């Protein structure tokens, strides 16, 4: 059966000292749910975070990586580099990467391939913009994002893929999709997977929701049958809030 997962995406927040402080606070919290817990600090703090959380129930993930193995890509980091500092899960395709760093479906397909080739787990993000939802185009947009970046994979690859539906209009805005909107989209995503790979694969993939998940709305969102956890931005920067969300399962 698929896993419940709560992952904290720290984005470009927390220097080394702040990372150490937040990790100490996270280690002081108790996990009372069955959810797998992850945090994704910026690149500079991955090694410190990995060491500080080694042996705990909190995994450290990366927020991005390049598709090349190595070479002349100034400012970039590869899958092997992440693995060399203990990181085996990477977030790819976050809407901020797509919007500010021009990451296209084509680039993301290459990144997914590069991560999977190194046996990494991918949290693959996608989601529609407000205009898409207003024009009732959200399912088409999301379906295309998934197909374009993932549907060249074989079914077996999906054991290392986690999906994260993050409507762009709900990220960092305080506006969440209603639990019903999240459930409807997650059911659509699962059906899209089932149509291509069959029900067994579709039922085994965890689909996270992201976009202004907070302690006061997590329980209702997570109660929906096709919502298998959350990708948490703002609320992941506070240990108590983050664990209130983790323990909402």
Residues assigned a catalytic role? 94, 166
Rounded Cα–Cα distance for residues 64 and 42 (Å): 9
Q: How far is CA 48 from CA 21, 43, 114, 230, in A?
A: 12, 10, 24, 24
Nearer to ligand PGA, 210 or 229 (CB): 210
Judged by CB under 6 A, the residue of 6, 150, 231, 245 near ligand PGA is: 231
Judged by CB under 6 A, the residue of 14, 89, 206, 212 near ligand PGA is: 212
Cβ 182 to ligand PGA, closest distance in Å? 13
Cβ 77 to ligand PGA, closest distance in Å? 19
Helix (H, G, I), strand (E, B), or coil: what is residue 203? helix
Residues 129-188 contacting ligand PGA, CB under 6 A? 166, 171-172
Structure tokens at 138: 């959200």
Q: Is 233 in the site for ligand PGA (CB under 6 A)?
A: yes
Q: Is 210 in the site for ligand PGA (CB under 6 A)?
A: yes
Q: Is 39 in the site for ligand PGA (CB under 6 A)?
A: no
Q: How far is CA 208 from CA 125, 214, 248, in A?
A: 9, 14, 14
Rounded Cα–Cα distance for residues 38 and 95 (Å): 19
Cβ 123 to ligand PGA, closest distance in Å? 10
């Amino acid at each position: 059966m698929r896993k419940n997962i709560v992952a904290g995406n720290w984005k470009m927040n927390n220097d080394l000292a702040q990372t150490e402080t937040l990790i100490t606070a996270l280690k002081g919290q108790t996990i009372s749910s069955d959810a797998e817990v992850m945090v994704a600090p910026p690149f500079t703090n991955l090694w410190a975070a990995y060491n500080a959380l080694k042996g705990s129930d909190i995994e450290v993930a990366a927020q991005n990586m390049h598709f090349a193995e190595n070479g002349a890509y100034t400012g970039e980091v590869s899958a092997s580099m992440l693995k060399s500092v203990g990181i085996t899960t990477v977030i790819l395709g976050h809407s901020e990467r797509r919007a500010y760093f021009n990451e296209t479906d084509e680039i993301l397909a290459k990144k997914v391939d590069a991560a999977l080739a190194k046996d990494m787990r991918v949290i693959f993000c996608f989601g529609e913009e407000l205009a898409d939802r207003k024009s009732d185009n959200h399912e088409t947009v999301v379906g295309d994002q998934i197909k374009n970046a993932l549907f060249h994979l074989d079914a077996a690859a999906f054991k290392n893929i986690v999906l994260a539906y993050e409507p762009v209009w709900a990220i960092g805005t305080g506006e969440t999709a209603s639990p019903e909107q999240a459930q409807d989209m997650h059911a659509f995503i699962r059906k899209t997977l089932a149509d291509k790979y069959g029900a067994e694969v579709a039922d085994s993939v965890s689909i996270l929701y992201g976009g202004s998940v907070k302690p006061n709305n997590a329980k209702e969102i997570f109660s929906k049958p096709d919502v298998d956890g959350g990708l948490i931005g703002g609320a992941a920067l506070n240990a108590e809030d983050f664990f209130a969300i983790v323990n909402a399962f």
